[in-house]
């Protein structure tokens, strides 16, 4: 009886207060960011002079390599002493560590175009031990933006912690509206056969940079780079706001295909749809004006599915941040890109308010950064509360039991779709101040989109189970050619699938919970 009451109480609390992460382990958190100044006197001097204003710092990017966890802090407001920083994980296993400038303080000097980095957003470590950082050269955001330096690609050797290349983008690579906050790195046959891709969110373009040629070019004007005019309304953390101008943002690269190229998947921020193109096109400068039909439009994810960052593992699992749902979603790229094949790997209606970045490291551990960005920009954060968090978990743990887990006997997985309708009760109860006067308050009663959960195809068992390939990439269900190590990936007719009796009761995400009290990294 006692166990029953405890279980009932747990259920009631979950219903009342919404979801909390089951699988992601909270590794680091901050009420406000701190920086590792050389000594306390210099820190106090920076505070007194306004060179360091703790409340003005917002983390937006994360990346992991060996014993370092990199964190980027853009100079959107005054008082940001360093934009490219890291945590020494040998000294700081958890908690709220001070951020250490990388590679040093001098290299984070704002406005020192040749030697420093003014503002960095999302960054990427490649398999050759290089850290790729795009310095936007900007200070401020929106109407406050100034450009003391040009956009420049900076690449660091992580073995020596030295910059080994700086390349300024061409004037024709950008325009008056350019805002680049994301990067993807493509390694081909060798470390010299490397390309970086940059998404121009407000200038609506995609920029390619060749390491070997030390040259860049721009794909622009494609309608897939633009926002969807029907998807510009957001409801996050109790705030209703419009980011209708936000174009191409998150990018993810598939593993190498048999033709030696990858597939790039991307999505505008103001969109519920994903698009795709082969890097064979992006690597070819001659195709910038003749490639419209080489870009492919995939299906919509469903309602409440704006995404920020995305990443794909070397076995074809794509993870993407779902900012409307305070969650991280997944899709296995051997499956059709439709809502029934999208899953939720974890959700937290307090800790994952605005997941801003997601990465998979060399050991297949996932890192997720959340930062409550809309509250920071449009209202005011409560600095007595934890505002910024970094979570981590093994990829295998995150996808276990979801539709993205191809290791299970159930091909189609439990019903934890990305397109789930938002609950009617408030999930995030903290009351924030209304938006600043510069952003007029829009009084609007948001009604969640009425949409039934998708009908899931029944699981297979025994001889009925599909032979799901380990290889993936473009597939016939997305209107693209599909390659697999054991032949084409064929599905039976839908009518035949629907005849199979569904005997197992689908289980929810909670059935695959891992204990938050026994952090996995301490057991290694």
Q: What is the pLDDT of residues 49-108, one digit of tens each?
A: 999 999 999 999 999 999 999 999 999 999 999 999 999 999 999 999 999 999 999 999
Distance (Å, rounded) from C-alpha 366 to C-alpha 369?
10
Beta bridge partners of 317: 332
Beta bridge partners of 430: none
Which pLDDT score, from 0 to 100, does residue 221 have?
81
Helix (H) or strand (E) holding 455: none
Distance (Å, rounded) from C-alpha 232 to C-alpha 520?
39
Distance (Å, rounded) from C-alpha 416 to C-alpha 412?
11
Question: What is the average pLDDT across 494-503?
Answer: 36
DSSP of 424-449? SS-S-----PPPPTTS----------
Q: Is residue 22 very low, low, confident or very high in pLDDT (cuts 50, 70, 90)?
A: confident
Distance (Å, rounded) from C-alpha 10 to C-alpha 4?
10
Which pLDDT score, from 0 to 100, does residue 325 have?
97
Which pLDDT score, from 0 to 100, does residue 8 have?
46
Which pLDDT score, from 0 to 100, does residue 452 have?
37
The answer to whether 29-168 and 219-425 have equal CATH topology is yes
Question: What is the average pLDDT across 479-498?
Answer: 35
Q: Is the confidence at residue 12, as pLDDT, over 80? A: no
- φ/ψ of residue 54, rounded to 5: -55, -40
Report whether 469 contacts 486 (CB < 8 A).
Answer: yes
Q: Is residue 13 very low, low, confident or very high in pLDDT (cuts 50, 70, 90)?
A: very low
Distance (Å, rounded) from C-alpha 264 to C-alpha 197?
10
Question: What is the average pLDDT across 425-432?
Answer: 45
- φ/ψ of residue 453, rounded to 5: -60, 145
Q: Return the SS3 of 17.
A: helix
Which pLDDT score, from 0 to 100, does residue 505 have?
36
462: left (phi over 0), alpha (psi -120 to 50) or beta: left
Cα atoms in the Cβ-side hemisphere of radius 13 Å centred on 360: 25
Measuring CA to CA, which residue among 154, 255, 130, 128 is closest to residue 209?
Answer: 154
Question: Six-digit token pair at 85?
Answer: 């920083």
CATH 3.30.70.270 fits 219-425, yes or no: no
Measuring CA to CA, which residue among 195, 200, 199 is closest to residue 211?
Answer: 195
Cα atoms in the Cβ-side hemisphere of radius 13 Å centred on 274: 31
Number of C-beta neighbours around residue 257 at 10 A: 18
pLDDT digits (tens, 9 = 90+) for 471-481: 333 344 444 44
Which pLDDT score, from 0 to 100, does residue 490 have?
29
pLDDT digits (tens, 9 = 90+) for 144-161: 999 999 999 999 999 999
Distance (Å, rounded) from C-alpha 246 to C-alpha 228?
9
Which pLDDT score, from 0 to 100, does residue 127 have?
96
Query: Which of the two residues, 373 and 497, has the higher pLDDT score?
Result: 373
Helices and strands (H, E) in the chain, number of each type: 6, 26
- Domain boundaries 29-168, corresponding CATH code: 2.120.10.30
Measuring CA to CA, which residue among 259, 248, 262 is closest to residue 127?
Answer: 262
Q: Is residue 21 very low, low, confident or very high in pLDDT (cuts 50, 70, 90)?
A: low
Query: Which of the two residues, 330 and 502, has the higher pLDDT score?
Result: 330
Which pLDDT score, from 0 to 100, does residue 205 have?
98
Q: Return the SS3 of 25.
A: strand
Q: Of 131-140, 370-379, 424-433, 457-466, which range is least confident?
A: 457-466
Q: Is the confidence at residue 302, as pLDDT, over 60? A: yes
Q: Of 3-7, 168-172, 178-182, 388-392, which range is least confident?
A: 3-7
Q: Is residue 503 very low, low, confident or very high in pLDDT (cuts 50, 70, 90)?
A: very low
Q: Where are the domains of the chain?
A: 29-168, 219-425
Question: What is the average pLDDT across 258-277?
Answer: 97
End-to-end CA distance of the chain: 38
Report whether 30 contacts 387 (CB < 8 A).
Answer: yes
DSSP-H helix ranges across 262-379: 279-282, 373-378
Which pLDDT score, from 0 to 100, does residue 391 have?
98
Q: Is the dihedral of CA 396, 398, 401, 402 positive or negative?
A: negative
Distance, C-alpha 112 to centroid of its chain: 29
Q: Is the dihedral of CA 464, 414, 421, 376 positive or negative?
A: negative
> Strand order in 388-394's β-sheet?
25-30, 388-394, 365-370, 355-360
Which pLDDT score, from 0 to 100, does residue 238 have?
94
Q: Is the confidence at residue 413, as pLDDT, over 70? A: no
| Residue linked to tokens 């009663």 | 445
Beta bridge partners of 404: none
On average, the pLDDT of the chain sits at 82
Distance (Å, rounded) from C-alpha 35 to C-alpha 58?
12
Which pLDDT score, from 0 to 100, does residue 407 have?
80
Q: Of 14-28, 118-132, 498-512, which range is least confident?
A: 498-512
Question: Six-digit token pair at 207?
Answer: 């920029």
DSSP of 248-305? EEEEEEPPP-TTS--EEEEEESS-SEEEEEEHHHHT-GGGTTS-GGGSEEEEE--SS-
CA-based diameter of the chain, in Å? 74
Enumerate residues 6+ apart whose C-beta is below 8 A from 202: 177, 178, 179, 245, 246, 247
Q: Is the confidence at residue 468, as pLDDT, over 90? A: no
Which pLDDT score, from 0 to 100, does residue 114 have?
96
């Amino acid at each position: 009886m006692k166990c029953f009451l405890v279980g009932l109480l747990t259920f009631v609390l979950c219903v009342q207060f919404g979801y909390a992460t089951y699988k992601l382990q909270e590794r680091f958190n901050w009420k406000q960011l701190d920086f590792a100044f050389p000594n306390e006197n210099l820190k106090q001097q920076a505070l007194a002079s306004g060179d360091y204003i703790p409340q003005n710092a917002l983390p937006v990017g994360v990346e992991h390599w060996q014993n370092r966890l990199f964190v980027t802090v853009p100079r959107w407001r005054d008082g940001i002493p360093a934009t490219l920083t890291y945590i020494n994980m040998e000294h700081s296993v958890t908690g709220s560590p001070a951020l250490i400038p990388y590679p040093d303080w001098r290299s984070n000097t704002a406005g020192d175009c040749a030697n420093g980095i003014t503002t960095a957003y999302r960054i990427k470590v490649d398999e050759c031990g290089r850290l790729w950082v795009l310095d936007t050269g900007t200070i401020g955001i929106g109407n406050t933006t100034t450009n003391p330096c040009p956009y420049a690609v900076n690449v660091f050797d992580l073995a020596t912690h030295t910059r080994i290349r700086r390349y300024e983008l061409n004037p024709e690579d950008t325009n008056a509206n350019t805002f680049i906050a994301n990067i993807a790195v493509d390694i081909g046959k060798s470390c010299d056969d490397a390309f970086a891709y940059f998404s121009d969110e407000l200038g609506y373009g995609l920029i390619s940079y060749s390491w070997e040629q030390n040259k860049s070019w721009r794909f622009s004007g494609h309608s897939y780079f633009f926002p969807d005019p029907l998807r510009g309304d957001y409801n996050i953390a109790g705030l209703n706001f419009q980011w209708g101008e936000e174009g191409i943002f998150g990018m993810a690269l598939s593993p190498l295909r048999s033709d030696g190229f990858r597939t790039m998947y991307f999505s505008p921020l103001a969109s519920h749809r994903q698009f795709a193109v082969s890097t064979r096109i992006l690597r070819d400068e001659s195709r910038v004006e003749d490639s419209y039909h080489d870009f492919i439009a995939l299906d919509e994810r469903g309602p409440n599915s704006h995404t920020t960052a995305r990443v794909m593992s070397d076995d074809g699992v794509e993870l993407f941040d779902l900012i409307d749902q305070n969650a991280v979603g997944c899709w296995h790229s051997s499956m059709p890109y439709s809502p029934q094949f999208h899953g939720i790997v974890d959700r937290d209606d307090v800790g994952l308010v605005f997941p801003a970045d997601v990465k998979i490291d060399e050991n297949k551990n996932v890192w997720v950064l959340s930062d409550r960005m809309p509250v920071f920009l449009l209202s005011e954060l409560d600095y007595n509360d934890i505002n910024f968090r970094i979570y981590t978990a093994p990829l295998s743990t995150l996808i276990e039991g979801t539709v993205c887990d191809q290791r299970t006997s159930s091909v189609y997985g439990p019903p934890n779709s990305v397109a789930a309708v938002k609950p009617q009760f408030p999930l995030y109860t903290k009351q924030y101040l209304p938006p600043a006067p510069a952003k007029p308050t829009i009084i609007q009663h948001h009604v969640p989109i009425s949409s039934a959960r998708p009908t899931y195809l029944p699981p297979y068992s025994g001889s009925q189970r599909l032979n799901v390939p380990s290889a993936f990439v473009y597939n016939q269900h997305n209107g693209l050619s599909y390659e697999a190590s054991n032949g084409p990936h064929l599905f039976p007719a839908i009518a035949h699938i629907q005849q199979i009796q569904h005997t197992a009761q689908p289980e929810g995400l909670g059935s695959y919970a891992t204990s938050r009290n026994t952090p996995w990294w301490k057991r290694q």
